[in-house]
Structures are given as structure tokens and as C-alpha cells.
Structure 1
Amino acid sequence: MQVMGMRMLNRFSDRHAGFDDPVSLLLACHERVRHYLSLLQKLTTHHASHGSDEQAQDAARAVLRYFDVAAPLHHQDEDDHLFALLKTRADATLSAEINALAAEHPHLHAQWAQLRVTLMAIGQGESAILNEAEVDGFVALYTQHAAREENAVYPYAQTLLSDAEREDMGRQMAARRGVSAGTP
């Protein structure tokens, strides 16, 4: 499938990250986030010139699928597992960073909810106005959020969590998605 000049791959399949390595899986999810944020920005440009044509509809539906399904699961994985476990061993600095990042999740969801309405209309071929400033704000916040998680929190998972805790985290993440922990 081609969307906005980008070949759409199954972004939910990553041979290098599986539930047996949940931190790598969370990092792979950030790569997918960046992919769909890029697609959203391309959609904004394309939509301004071409309206809700077939390419815009395909792109809108792809972005909707990702941010409606995978992104909330990812945030729940972080909040319920990674952040919760790390906070039991975190120093004050790490704990404050985790709290700040967890507090951003509802803001990301709220910004998404605003964009979602417009993307639903575009995905259905309806006339809509995709606000570039809203898109840019969402992209910037999400990009900065993911980078902070990767640099300020994720590295501690290898040093503060046991192998058994990471394995259990992977099993719980898989169960949330209704798949076996051995399935990427």
C-alpha cells in the first residue's frame, strides 16, 4: 500500500523486538510513533492541497489505527509496568522524571482526541480542516516525550529490574494484546 509516497509496512511487526524483551519492544513502539507522526505531518501538507482524496483517506485511517489502538496500549505498558516497577527503586530524580512523563500521557491523549475528530472526517472522505498548528504541537510533544523516556527512564530498566521482572512485564504486555509472550 502506498500512502503519501510512503510504502506502508506492517509497523506492528518487528523481528528484533518481542515480548521476551519488553524494553526493546517499547523502544520499537517509539519508532512506530515517529513513523505515524511523520505520516500525520505529510497528511497535513497533502490535505491542504488535495483535500480528503483517496491518499489522504488512507493516511488518516492508518494514523487513526495506530493512535487509537497501539499508542494507548503502549502508555498503559509504561504506566502499569515499567514506570510502576522502576518507581519502587528510583531515586528522587528518576522518580520525578517518571511522574512527569506519566502525567504527560493524559495530555497526549487529549491532544489526540482533538485531532482524531478531523482525521475521522478525512478518513471518511469528508471535507475537513486539518489544523497545522495542532498537528505540529502534537508531533512536537510526542517526539519530545518519547525522547525523554528513552534517555531518562528506559536505560534504568536494565539496571534496576531483574530478568524475572522484565519477563513478567513482557508476559503482561502480551496478555493485554491477547497474544502469547513468545509472539512478537
Structure 2
Amino acid sequence: MPNALISTAPDFSQPIAVLKHCHDRIRKQLETLQNLLDHLPQHGNDAQAQQAAHSIMRYFNQAAPHHHADEEVDLLPMLSVTAIGEDAAVLQKLMPEIMAEHQQMDGLWHTLNLQLAPIADGATATPAGQLSPQDVQQFSAVYSAHMEKEETWIAPMAKRLFSAQQMQQLGSAMQQRRGIPA
């Protein structure tokens, strides 16, 4: 009997739910990033700060690129061949924006990753000055607006338009990308 007290991730038979779950994890990492920014001036680069930096870096260096590839390589191209009429018009407007936002977030992440590395490695020289509040705010704002756009427009469109076979194809591609056996 499954334990109802333990929250589990959806499986790849529900690829849109997996993408939403990724967004929820991104939101948690953005919250941790903000918490780290608040933590450093008071506590310095202690074990908690190092652990938080490691967690953030692990997510955005490993899981986030898979998530972006899910959208760029599979979800959006599949939608572009399926959508017609108003859906196609909405998609034609949003696809370039989403792709540009992915590039913008990748650039912002590169900057933050360089700032987080010394914190994760336990550097003691002015750790509070290593993490830019402006960079954290910009990264969080761009990511949050981006996820809102996808959850408002892209996910509902895919749920509405994709057949069971297309959902299975998307889920299989996502699972394979992560090296998870079928």
C-alpha cells in the first residue's frame, strides 16, 4: 500500500505532470537561493550555506538542462506539428520567447554558478559578497515568469491536443534523456 504521507513524483506516463513537478522543484531551488542570500551575511559560509549551494548547483547544472531539452527538443516541436488555428498562432508567438528565455536563463545561471562555486567549496573570504542580490533577483524573476507562461499556455495546450500516443512518446523521450530504463 502506498504511503499517502510521502509526496512522490509523477512517472513518465504523465509527462506534463513531470514537467510541472520540475517547475515545482525549480521554485524550491529559487527559494533556497534566496534563503542562501539571506543566510550568508548572518552566518557566513557555514555547512548549511555550503550544502545549499551544492543543492542549487546540482539542480541547475544537471536537472534544469534536461528540463529545457524536454521542451526544446520534444514538447514544443511536437506541439508545433499538432497545433492548428488559434493554438498554432499562440504557439508561433510563444515558441521564440520561450527559446530566448531559455538562453537568457542559461546565461544568468552561468553567472550565478560562478558565484556559488566558492560557497559550495567552503571559501571563507567574504562569502556574503560572493552572491549578488541583483543576479539572484533577476534569475528568479525571469524563471518565475517563464514557468508561469508555460503553465498558463503550453502545458494546457499539450494536455488538450496530444493523443495518448503522443504523451507516451514525450514521456519516453524525457525518460531516455535522463538515462532511466523503461
After TM superposition, the score normalised by the length of structure 2 is: 0.88
> 1-side partners of 2:163 and 2:151: how far apart?
19
Which of 21, 28, 37 is 1:44 aligned to? 37
Cα distance in 1 for residues equivalent to 2:107 and 2:27:
18
C-alpha deviation, 1:180, in angstroms: 2.6
Task: Specify the SS of the correspondent of 1:125.
Answer: coil
Of 71, 75, 82 in structure 2, the residue corresponding to residue 82 of structure 1 is: 75
Preserved CA contact (<8 Å) 1:14 1:28 = no
Alignment partners' CA distance in 2, 1:102 and 1:167: 24
Matches within 5 A, 1:15-94: 15-90=8-83, 91-94=88-91
- Which residue of structure 1 aligns with residue 118 of structure 2? 121
Counterparts of 2:36 and 2:30, CA distance in 1: 10
TM-score (norm 1): 0.87
In the alignment, the residues of structure 2 paired with residue 158 and residue 169 of structure 1 have an alpha-carbon distance, to the nearest angstrom, of 12
Q: Which residue of 1 aligns with 2:3?
A: none
Q: CA deviation at 1:14?
A: 6.0
From 90, 94, 98, the counterpart of 1:97: 94
Q: 139-148 or 122-131: which moved more?
A: 122-131
Q: How many percent of aligned residue pairs carry the same amino acid? A: 36
Deviation at 1:92, TM superposition (A): 1.5
Unpaired runs of 5+ in structure 1? Answer: 1-12
Give the SS at the match of 2:32. Answer: helix
Partner AA of 1:88 in structure 2: V
Q: Is the 8 A contact 1:57 1:125 kept in 2?
A: yes
String of CA shifts for 1:75-108, please: whole Å, max 9, x gaps: 0001111111111233222221122112210110
1:132 counterpart letter in structure 2: P
The number of residues matched between the two structures is: 169
Paired amino acid for 1:133: Q
Q: Is the 8 Å Cα contact of residues 98 and 153 (structure 1) preserved in structure 2?
A: no
- 2:147 partner letter: A
Q: Which entry has the higher C-alpha Rg, 1 or 2?
A: 2
How big is the alpha-carbon RMSD for the aligned residues of Structure 1 and Structure 2? 1.4
Change (3 A) 1:14 1:134: same
Displacement of 1:155 after TM fit? 0.3
> Residue 158 of structure 1 corresponds to which residue in structure 2?
159
Tell me which protein shows more helix as a share of its residues: 2
Equivalent positions of 1:145-184 (< 5 A) are: 145-181=146-182
CA distance in 2, matches of 1:101, 1:41: 24
User: What is the letter of the counterpart of residue 177 of structure 1?
Assistant: R
Distance 1:85 1:165 in 2: 8
